[in-house]
Structure 1
Amino acid sequence: MPTVGHPSALSPAYPRIELTLPDEWVAEPGGDALFRATHGRGGDLAPELTAYVHTSREASTADLVDDLATGAQEHEEGEADPTFEVEIGERTWTGLNVSWIEDGEPVYVVHLVTPVEAGEVTHLVRLCGRVAGPDSEQDYEGVQGILETVIVDPMGGGA
């Protein structure tokens, strides 16, 4: 009789993912994300960072980025910019900027995705930086600076 479990060949331990936050940022419970951090000023328009891992045998970075672009375009005035590549910490990340209008305010999200091979599967590590409202441009620069501190250790995960 087959069994399933975690960690296992099809559900390996996640890599270690770490960001360095400025003093005015606070870590929050992750909810559906591995971790979440927000700017300490709080409120619905406060910048937010989240991390996710998507594990698959067949999905690629391009597949995930296409899904994220499509999801953004389903929002009011949703747009997705062309993807870009960036090197951070000896890893190549595929980036995607998306935007839409939510409750009358502009929302901008940057997604960074990098594959991490994990035996029979691939972990697609995704970082998201979300900014909204009148301070979006300044907040985006801050989020971008934090994202550039990312460390991903493929062997650093836990069960």
Structure 2
Amino acid sequence: MEADPRGGDVASVYRAMVHVLKTLPLASAISARDPEVFGKYLRKPSNLFERRPSTLGMREFLHMMQQAGTMRRDVDPRVVAFILDALTPALRRTFTADRAATDPDQPTSDELLETLADLLDRALTPPEGADLANGRALLLGGLDQVRAALAAALGRQEGERS
């Protein structure tokens, strides 16, 4: 994100997250709530996906980006989150096999991602431009908090094993 000249707006973060998910199949399956991976568990009342731990979800992320000045204030984060969550399984299907090689009508994951990021940029960026510095600072601060929480959790686990 620091190397990306547009790093700090919604489209750049979405692009970076999707590139990471391409390399992490289990994380990708979790984010898409893949029924092939999780099967009947998804229909179980109070499953982990429904109870969602206190992690940053798409709606909360978009709301934070809106507050940081990187997303238009007249756009409803709840609706955009719903749309992006609905698109995740379709995007993820392009990761597993490059179907574009056998089906010329099927875009590659890179083509799909770049088009989606362009749409997000055009639809969500404030007319006066995104406050990239504020968005970048918010995101990097959030990463620092996640790292600290993980380190603390790992330290507790290590202490429990001793």
Of structures 1 and 2, the one scoring higher in RCO (CA 8 A, sep 6+) is 2
Larger of the two Rg values belongs to structure: 2
Give the TM-score of the pair, scaled to structure 1: 0.27
Higher helix proportion, which one? 2
